[in-house]
Amino acid sequence: MTERRRHKQQVRKAFDQAADSYDRAAAVQREVCHRLAALAAATPPSGSVSRILDAGCGTGFGLDLITHAHPDAHIVALDFAPAMLARLRQNYPVATVSLLCADLEALPLADESLDAVWSSLALQWCDPALALAQIARALRPGGVAWIATLGPATLWELREAFARVDEASHVIRFHPATAWIAAAEEAGLSLVAKDLDPAWALAPDLRGLLRDIKAIGAHSVGEERRRKPLGRAAWRTLQDAYEAHRRPDGLLPATYDLILLALRKPETTHHD
C-alpha cells in the first residue's frame, strides 16, 4: 500500500469514528462555516445557481447556510467518510440534497456540471493541485469555489508544547495560503477574494481542548505520530508547557490557521 493511500485510509477512519461526537464539539467548524457564508455572499457566481457541491460536507452543518443563500439549488453533499454521510442523512432528510461518498482528489462528477463549490475545512487533507484541478474541471465557466482550509500554523500551541515531551509528530502540517493560490492558478482558477484571519478553539483545560480536537476527527494521523499514551510525568510536562498560552479570560486557546478563498473559473477560455 502506498503512503498516500495509507494516509487517506487513516483520515477516513478518524472521521468515521468522529461522526457521532462531531456536532457536540465542532464550535470552530460552525464559526468557519459562517465566515465562509459571508465570503460566498460577497462573491457569487455569474448567472443562475442550480447545482452546488458541498465538498467535504461532514454532518451537514453548512447545508443550512448554502440552502438559505440558494434555496432553489440542488446540493450534492460529498464526504470521504461513510459515517459522516449517514449522520448527515439523519440531520438533513431533504430531497434536494444528494449524498455522494467520494474522494475530493477524484470527483465522480461531469465536466462543467457545477455552478458553485462550497468546501469548509476538508481540503486541508488533500493535495492542493489534485483537488483544485478536480474542482476546476467540474465547475462551469463563471462558477465559483468557496474554500475554507487550514494553514501550517494550525494548532501551533500544541506542537510547541508537545516538543517539550517527545519528537513524535502530534500535529499535521498543512499547506500555506501561497501554495493554495498557486495551485488554483495552475488549475485555471482566478483568486477573487481571500481572508486569512485565524479562528480559535477554547476550553478551560488542556484535556477538554484535546478531547474536542479528537471528537471532530482532527487529531494527528501519520507515520510519525505517537503510538503510546502519555505517562503521568509527560502529561504534567505538556500541561505546564501549554499553560503559557492561557488567556486573560482563563481559557486555553488552540489556533486554527484559517484560509478562506473565493476562486472563479473564467467565463471563456482563450485558445491560441
Task: Extract the C-alpha cell encoding 165.
Answer: 515531551
Please report the pLDDT score of residue 92 as a whole number: 77
Helix (H) or strand (E) holding 178: helix 177-186
Q: How many alpha carbons fall within 13 Å on the CB side of residue 88?
A: 30
Phi, psi of 204 (to 5 degrees): -70, -20
Average pLDDT over the chain, rounded to an integer = 85
The DSSP bridge partners found for residue 158 are none
Q: Please give the single-letter amino acid code of residue 90.
A: Q
Q: Is 227 or 139 the better-scoring residue by pLDDT?
A: 139
Q: Is 14 or 166 the better-scoring residue by pLDDT?
A: 166
How many whole angstroms separate alpha carbon 261 and alpha carbon 272? 30
Task: Point out the least confidently predicted range of 32-46, 79-93, 198-212, 215-229.
Answer: 215-229
How many whole angstroms separate alpha carbon 125 and alpha carbon 139? 21
Q: Is 167 or 126 the better-scoring residue by pLDDT?
A: 126
Please state the pTM of the whole predicted model: 0.85
Buried b (16+ CB within 10 A) or exposed e, 243-260: eebeeeeebbbbbbbbbb
Provide CB contacts within 8 A for 133, sequence distance 6+.
186, 187
Please report the pLDDT score of residue 9 as a whole number: 63
For residues 54 and 66, the answer to whether their CB atoms sit within 8 Å is: yes
